Amino acid sequence: MSISDISLVDWSRAQFALTSIYHWLFVPLTLGLSFIMAIMESIYVKTGNEEWRKITKFWMKLFGINFAIGAATGIILEFEFGTNWSNYSWIVGDLFGAPLAIEGILAFFLESTFIVLMFFGWNKVGKKTHLLSTWLVTIGSVLSSWWILVANAWMNDPVGMTFNPDTARCEMVNFWEVAFSPFAIHKFWHTITSAYVVAALFVVGVSSWYLIKKRHESFAKKSILVGAIFGFVATMLVTVSGDTSTYQIAQKQPVKLAAMEGLFIGRTRAPIIALAILRPDIPISDTVNHFIFKMEMPGMLSKLGYRDKNAFVPGIYDLVYGNQYQGIEPVFKRMERGTIAMIALNKYKEAKEDNDTIEMRVSLSEFRTNYKDLGYAYLDKPEDVVPNIPITFYSFHLMVGLGFYFVILLLVILFFLWRKTLIKRKLILWLAVLTIPLGYVATELGWIVAEVGRQPWAIQDLLPVSKATSHISTSSVQITFILFAILFTVLLLADIRILLKQIKNGPKE
């Protein structure tokens, strides 16, 4: 690969990462606030207490501000598949595009249609009709997330498809296998519940600020009650979905799991690392201690990954260089099969042009035997299958650490709320305010683990990122990267400024 190609790939990845990170700054609040608003309005309809109507309308205003900007960044993100990743789009367009099309036609339009009634129908329709529109917006946001995450999950676990050698494209053979793969289900639950935690921390933090300032105290206490309960339930669901997601990763992406836990040498009763510092720049082929220090929980990684505390968990060394005692073959064997598949595919195309039916059958049979390792033919060396270990490892452990902190904070807030002394606990209230950005940090770290951890693959085992880009100039991507960085930063600052202004103004009395 030439330097210019590497530069193009890196800049394309950087631009997509930039767009994704900014987009996900808006999405979690939208997803979570829609659910919290629906709960608050349900209480209003049930009790008839007008204060709950005021509370709902305040959070609905903040939801609307965030929704508009989040939708704009999401549209740009989808267009980038065509502009920067046209090779990827060509190979998987018929399959990958299906869930995205359903998301646009069904989920997004459902959400967009009823959002108008939700905002402007307060005095125009009955209470129950308006409540229905709010819940339909919530359902629309959930469905929208589902289909987007189905598409993302398929990249990690390409099921329900076959590779057509005549067109060199992935084609869908089982829609339901794609839509409801175990990887998609667990990814959806983990992602959406993490978004709910972000929104809950936002509601609790903003409401805590009102208590600190001794403003809108009744409003703040009620909002904290809903937000903290909703957030605590969400954190429990994140924990459960994180467990099931780890199991899926162990089965489908063992290299990612090894990088997440810094497991270089495979072992039985493999531990989870609670706290550690990696030694810098030690090659994976080195079998010495890779940590400056570490604190472990023995057997827990085996339990999470294989549901057996005594199970063997392969390390990075095993997965790259093989382990004959555990039946793990080295990567170079898969590279050989991938090369065989590539050669057979080329022979098949040549035989088809020459109308050589015998050679076509032989080449096609050889290709189908080896095509599942097709992507390995593009790798330069076995070590290329290993993602950036420090980024994956530290992102994962910081995310988990923040998750435990959120659980403790929400429990403490609920305790003092129950004791009716929360307003006196200034330290707890300030912690709640300062925790708002930490929720965003945690959920962004989750995406970093997911996406950096699956490198070098655009499609697991079938297409590396280096072969997924468009044939465009590097300068074009650099220019648009700078423009998007400026645009998204302006949008983010505008969003924050408008949100802060509305929060400062507070709910209408």
Strands 267-268, 312-313: pairing kind: antiparallel
Neighbouring residues of 258: CB distance < 8 A, sequence distance ≥ 6: 264, 313, 314, 315, 316, 319
- Averaged pLDDT, 444-473: 92
Task: Return d(Cα 410, Cα 472) in angstroms, integer.
Answer: 49
Q: Give the pLDDT confidence score for residue 3 in this predicted structure.
A: 44
Residue 306 in any domain: the answer is yes
254-282: burial string, b at 16+ Cβ within 10 Å, e else: bbbbbbbbbbbbbeebbbbbeebebeeee
Residues 277 and 321 in one domain: yes
Boundary of a domain, candidates 433, 452, 471: 452
Boundary of a domain, candidates 378, 408, 443: 378
- List, as own/partner pairs, every contact residues 283-289 make where C-beta atoms lie below 8 angstroms and the sequence separation is at least 24, other chains included: 284/316, 284/317, 284/320, 284/383, 284/386, 284/389, 285/317, 285/320, 285/321, 285/383, 287/317
The 3 state secondary structure assigned to 462-505 is CEEHHHCCCCCCHHHHHHHHHHHHHHHHHHHHHHHHHHHHHHHH
Residue 301 in any domain: the answer is yes
Residues 312 and 355 in one domain: no
Residue 151 in any domain: the answer is no
Residue 341 in any domain: the answer is yes
- Averaged pLDDT, 365-385: 93
Residues 233 and 205 in one domain: yes
Considering the chain, what percentage of its residues have pLDDT values greater than 70? 98
Q: Give the pLDDT confidence score for residue 69 in this predicted structure.
A: 78
Neighbouring residues of 200: CB distance < 8 A, sequence distance ≥ 6: 32, 36, 227, 228, 230, 231, 232, 234, 410
Band (pLDDT 50/70/90 cuts) for residue 472 is: confident
Residue 413 in any domain: the answer is yes
Q: What residues make up the domain containing 374?
A: 336-378
Residues 396 and 422 in one domain: yes
Reported as a single tens digit per residue, the pLDDT across 323-359 is: 988 999 999 999 999 999 999 999 999 998 888 889 9
- Averaged pLDDT, 103-112: 74
Residues 438 and 406 in one domain: yes
Q: Is the Cβ–Cβ distance between 329 and 338 less than 8 Å?
A: no
Residue 140 in any domain: the answer is no
- For residue 280, pLDDT over 50 is answered with yes
Q: Give the pLDDT confidence score for residue 134 in this predicted structure.
A: 92
Q: Is the Cβ–Cβ distance between 112 and 144 less than 8 Å?
A: no
Task: Return d(Cα 75, Cα 479) in angstroms, integer.
Answer: 19
Residues 394 and 426 in one domain: yes
Residues 393 and 448 in one domain: yes
Q: Give the pLDDT confidence score for residue 509 in this predicted structure.
A: 59
Band (pLDDT 50/70/90 cuts) for residue 6 is: low
Residue 363 in any domain: the answer is yes
Q: Give the pLDDT confidence score for residue 449 in this predicted structure.
A: 95
Boundary of a domain, candidates 422, 452, 482: 452
Q: Give the pLDDT confidence score for residue 128 in this predicted structure.
A: 92
Band (pLDDT 50/70/90 cuts) for residue 110 is: confident
Task: Return d(Cα 183, Cα 187) in angstroms, integer.
Answer: 6
The whole-chain average pLDDT of the chain stands at 90
Residue 96 in any domain: the answer is no
| Beta-carbon-side half-sphere exposure of residue 10 (alpha carbons within 13 Å) | 7
- Averaged pLDDT, 194-223: 95
Q: How many domains does the chain have?
A: 3
- For residue 1, pLDDT over 80 is answered with no
- For residue 4, pLDDT over 50 is answered with no
- Averaged pLDDT, 74-81: 80
